[in-house]
Structures are given as structure tokens and as C-alpha cells.
Amino acid sequence: MTGPAAHAHRAHPEGSAERFNIGRVLDILAPEFPGMISISKIRLLEEDGLIAPERTPAGYRKFSDADVERMRYILTMQRDYQLRKSIIAEHLDAMDRGLEAPAIAPIVPTVPEFALRTDGDDGLPGEELFERRDNLRLSRKELLKVAEVDEELLAGLESAKIVTSSHSGHFTTDDLALVRTARQLADFGFHAAALRVFRNAADREADLVRQALSGRRDSDEVGTELTVLTARLHGLLLKSSLRD
């Protein structure tokens, strides 16, 4: 079993002896589900029979890792799929009896496939990337979800001027491509601040392109081709420098 249901079983796994008080459970879940979890919400989940934490002789609740994962599953189903408690209860009961959780298709708008394309067949920036014009506007939450990054990385990219939201707080297709690329670079140890070097280089190259287009009547037509060529030159020079 994979996905959010993977650890939602009621049973406490053997060998996992650590137990958490209700305050610690809030510390664990609140960052992931801001505004959705509280002491009263946890008590309500217990009253509804969705969770069954252990009780000490004095009556205090003690939660296992499995209890926390069960609550994470419940909150995820409520936040991402807007499932009713009765439906979630059916899922949990089925999983408690060893059944697989039902597959749930996304019920939120998805980003078009073209918006995720960032390069040509040779791995270098393709003309399609620079010709692309669309009215796609992503909210901050949508960008974080589609790009699969956390708030810390996005904030760092904004600070480094890698991406900038519009006055309405939305992000474009190009912002999405930039954030996804930055996420991949982060896997190689590139912090957001380090990417400012690329921002500065791009700004200087953009000045050269503007100078070349200055005064041309066909600047709109030539601009895309010139941008593609300079981007390819940059990529090939970087490849050459790394090979030296």
C-alpha cells in the first residue's frame, strides 16, 4: 500500500514504543495542516471513532506513530479531496480489516502538459519554450504543489530574484519551470541564494539581446530566435567549460 493510506492503520506497530502527548501531536501536524488541526479537532476525531489513542491510568491520551499517520491521512483526505467524515471512516475501517484504500483521482484543476515542457529534444532550451504564450496563472499554493517544493525554497527563490509573483500574487508558466529546475538543482546542493549568479548572468545577456533588437522593426519576430540562440550558446559554453 502506498500514498497517504500507507500508514493509516489503527494498529500500533511492534517495536514503536514511543508515545506522544496531544501537544506534541499538534507540533508534528500543525506545520503540514495549518488551521486544520487543534486539540478540540483531535478530541472530535476520537469522539467520531476515527482514532483511538491509548489512555494512561490517569486518563491522559497517548498517541503512537501510527495514530499520527492515521490523523495525517484523515486531514489529507479532508484538505485535498474534501471527503466527508463518513467516507473517510469507511476507508479507515476497510484498511483496518486489511483491505486496500480505494484509488482517489485528483479533483483539483491540473496544469496542462505543455506547461511542464522545458527543453528540446537535445536537452537544450527549445524554441517552443521561448515562443510559448499562455494565460496560465498559478496561486502560491498551486505552484508549491505542482512544482513539489516547500515554502522555504520558494521564499529563497523570491529573495534571489529567480521568480517574482505578479501584483495579484500569481505565478506564470515560466515561474513554474524555473521553480521545478531550481528544485532539481537543490538535489545537487545548489541553495536558492547560489542561483543568483545565474540571475545576474541572464540579466547581462538580456541587455545584449535588447541592444541587438534595438531599432529593428521585426524585433518581435527576431526576438524569439535570438533568445533561443543565446540560450543555446550559454548552455554549450557551460558544457565546454566543464569539459576543460
In a domain, 162, yes or no: yes
In a domain, 123, yes or no: yes
Determine which helix (DSSP H) or strand (DSSP E) holds 208, and give its type and residue range.
Answer: helix 196-213
Q: Minimal CA–CA distance to 212: which of 230, 195, 200, 197?
A: 230
Domain count, the chain: 2
Mean pLDDT of 148-154: 93
Q: Taking 50 as the threshold, does the pLDDT of residue 57 lie above it? A: yes
In a domain, 105, yes or no: no
Domain end residue (candidates: 96, 122, 148)? 96
In a domain, 108, yes or no: no
Same domain, 67 and 119: no
CB 125 within 8 A of CB 235: yes
**Which pLDDT band, with edges at 50, 70 and 90, does 2 fall under?**
very low
Q: What is the model's pLDDT at position 12?
A: 44
Same domain, 54 and 138: no
Q: What is the model's pLDDT at position 60?
A: 94
In a domain, 107, yes or no: no
Domain extent at residue 151? 113-243
Amino acid at 135: N
Same domain, 44 and 150: no
**105-129 tens-digit pLDDT:** 655 556 666 566 655 555 555 555 6
Whole-prediction pTM:
0.54
In a domain, 150, yes or no: yes
**152-179 tens-digit pLDDT:** 999 999 999 999 999 999 998 889 989 9
Bridge pairing between strands 54-55 and 61-62: antiparallel
Same domain, 139 and 209: yes
